[in-house]
Structure 1
């Protein structure tokens, strides 16, 4: 009798799930592999928004790169200055160390100098303390040492003294080195603080110079306006005086004393005037001389004022030219640095391409490799 296995509830659920996944896969495949829906069914506003976001991100990246380049130039200039100062400080310390060695660490002052003294043989004394040696015999032979015990004690004491002196000298040298390093670090910190202070003072000086120019221009504008207002008031006063003189003239008032002018006692009407006497001529010549002196002083004042204005304009022009030259120098330096960086990047790119071609691109895919893709929707 055959024994058939009865399907359980769990088996039916798994079969239903497999069938549902198969239907979903077929529907998904029909949507994905449909060329018309894939090419035409595109969300255009969403793509445009993505393009705008990408463009904004690129602009922000360019702005950051520019700010980073400017900061890098400033830091590079500061680093060059600090490096030059550090080199100068190291050179000064090396000179001081050489001078110290020349004065206090000479060769002839070393403890072991007698071992390699070139004149040691010249300083040996003849043997004169051995009674057994006659006048016709030889001197001390190899292996003999009459003052061995005494010399051994002296050498032990000297060796102990040398060891103690070495310990003291090493300790003193270590203290001196530590003090020199502390002084060097303090000098570096003071130098960095000085550089920052100079930078701050430069910015403050530029700000004050701009404020002074602004105040000077405002003062010139105010003075010009006041001068124009005074000239208008003077012209109105002259017109009023001229109208008043015409109204109160002898011709209109019919004054019998027509020979005298209404402008003053020393003024006469031309077509009725018969001439001046000697006193009037003297006064006229004196007034004429005073007018000439006043006119000369006025011309001198105008020339002095014109010279001052020209000097001021020349100074402003020189300052503008100096700032222009400095700006061009900075631009040339920046262009040179950018060119060097571009050359370095081009060299790195060439090396990268060479490495990529020689290492990575060594296995060309075939049609069999491409045919295994796009077979399912997953």
Structure 2
């Protein structure tokens, strides 16, 4: 078995080697043969490949479009079938419901009384009236001292409560209406009072504005008068100052007039705050008087030297008292 496998493998290797040898020979014959050898790219082969590729793409595109159209058609058919199935199921359910409603009613069933929801309402009460034959002694449905008119009394009480409630509602509505009328009247009065107050306030504001305008006019007039008076005062003050300056310049004080120092009590007296000094005549008179006094003093001294000795004491006293001369013995 292994020998057959080995022989088969050898034959396969020999066949493969032979195929490679044949391909190599074909390649060499194609390359080394100058007649069939092509240098560069085979354009015809490439064009043929491009053409085949385009044809293949067009066929592929057409096949895809056909598949898409077929899928759309299948989807439409599927939707139509589903809609038809839904309508069929709906119609069947509706028919079943109508059949059950018309021919299979619950009250026609044999055991309906066991599950009737209105069973308690349809059942008779334990006591219909006082003369009910079912009210036996053992039934415990009728006793002494019962309120037999309970239903009527309860109905009357309910009606009475209803009337009272309606009366209270009417009274409440009337009270609300009266309160609303009073509130409306109060609001109207308040609005009227507010309107009057606003008018009064407006009049007061107008009066205030008029008073303020009059005050402004009066103040403006007063300011104009004050400005005019200040202007006149300034002009008068300037005029007085000019007159004073002119008077001072032309007066006796700055001109040093000696006559202004003469007192009204006599020409021998002067006013000290106005006296500007003595004139030349007065100075000459004073100098002359001083010279006379010097001469008199000299004469007196000479007389004292040559006078009688008995008069020495008298002369000495006179000299001491009057002239301050030393005593001559």
What is the TM-score with the length of structure 2 in the denominator?
A: 0.32
Higher RCO structure (Cα 8 Å, ≥6 apart): 1
**Rg: which structure is higher?**
2
What is the TM-score with the length of structure 1 in the denominator?
A: 0.28
